[in-house]
């Protein structure tokens, strides 16, 4: 007997931004394995009889290992249950979705992927800006701010990230941002480039800070806090 897994993107945290399909799967799930950023009011759509299991990973906090999460997902599905794997934003964007898909494929378990609103799109909307603009921002690039060790990735394409005509969004980048800026300035990016720090997007404490790359690096070198955040920079951040 084998169950079925729905990978559901929960969006940035605002339950009103869930898709209709996401709500449907939550209501019908026997078990919901959720990320930290997918908890709270979003879980109100889950059945009262469903098992709710927190499996979120947050930097600097004790977190379950990825292999444990994958094994748990397989174990629930093998009992014949309908399982929702609830991921923040869109699971396919820095959500380690592929590792969990591989585990299901190896176990012969069927699944579906339901996209969610990426936090980058929600951050731009909260800031009142588009991510592209004719003539000045024809390209958008998403990059993670740290690798598996928590450090700035060594293979990051600094030339691309220093492109003044691209809108760049950094995920999980507060801790390494000062080091990144130092590298980018060596590749020609002006430290006065407009930047936005978008914190707690889609939640009651949402905060948008408009600043510059240099000022933001100085701020984060003093304190990074513990709120989830995105960093956007480029020609649109000043809008």
- The mean of the pLDDT values for the chain is 93
Per-residue pLDDT at 164 = 92
Dist. CA 168–CA 166, nearest whole Å:
6
Dist. CA 46–CA 171, nearest whole Å:
28
**Tokens 């759509």 -> residue:** 45
Residues with a catalytic annotation lie at 35, 57
The values of phi and psi at residue 188, to 5°, are 100, 0
- Asked whether the beta carbons of 231 and 195 are under 8 A apart, the reply is yes
Answer yes or no: CATH 3.30.950.10 is held by domain 119-233: yes
DSSP the chain: ---EEEEEE-BTS-GGGS-HHHHHHHHH-SEEEE-GGG-GGGGGGS-TTSEEEE----TTS----HHHHHHHHHHHHHTT-EEEEEESB-TTTTS-HHHHHHHHHHHT-EEEEE----HHHHHHHHHT--S-BTTTB-EEEEEES--TTSSPPTT--HHHHT-TTEEEEEES-TTTHHHHHHHHHHTT--TT-EEEEEESTTSTT-EEEEEEHHHHHHHHHH---SS-EEEEESTTTT-
Please write the tens of the pLDDT for every residue from 65-121: 889 999 999 999 999 999 999 999 999 999 899 999 999 999 999 999 999 999 999
pTM beyond cutoff 0.85: yes
Per-residue pLDDT at 39 = 84
For the chain, give every domain's residue range.
4-114, 119-233
CA atoms within 13 A on the CB side of 42: 34
- Asked whether the beta carbons of 214 and 237 are under 8 A apart, the reply is no
The fold for domain 4-114 equals Cobalt-precorrin-4 Transmethylase; domain 1 (3.40.1010)
Per-residue pLDDT at 231 = 98
């Amino acid at each position: 007997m084998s169950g079925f897994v729905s990978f559901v993107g929960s969006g940035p945290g605002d339950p009103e931004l869930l898709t209709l399909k996401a709500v449907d799967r939550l209501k019908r799930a026997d078990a919901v394995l959720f990320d930290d950023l997918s908890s709270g009011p979003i879980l109100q759509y889950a059945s009262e009889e469903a098992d709710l299991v927190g499996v979120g990973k947050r930097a600097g906090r004790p977190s379950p290992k990825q292999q444990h999460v994958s094994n748990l997902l397989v174990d629930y599905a093998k009992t014949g249950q309908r399982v929702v794997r609830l991921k923040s934003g869109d699971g396919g964007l820095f959500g380690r979705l592929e590792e969990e898909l591989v585990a299901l494929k190896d176990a012969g378990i069927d699944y579906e992927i339901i996209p969610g609103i990426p936090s980058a799109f929600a951050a731009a909307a909260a800031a009142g800006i588009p991510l592209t603009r004719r003539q000045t921002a024809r390209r958008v690039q998403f990059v993670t701010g740290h690798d598996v060790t928590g450090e700035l990735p060594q293979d990051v394409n600094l030339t691309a990230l220093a492109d003044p005509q691209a809108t760049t969004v950094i995920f999980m980048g507060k801790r390494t941002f000062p080091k990144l800026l130092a590298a980018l300035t060596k590749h020609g990016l002006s430290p006065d480039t407009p930047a936005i720090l978008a914190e707690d997007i889609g939640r009651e404490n949402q905060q948008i800070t408009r600043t510059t790359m240099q000022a933001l690096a100085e701020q984060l070198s003093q304190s990074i806090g513990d709120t989830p955040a995105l960093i956007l920079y480029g020609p649109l951040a000043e809008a």
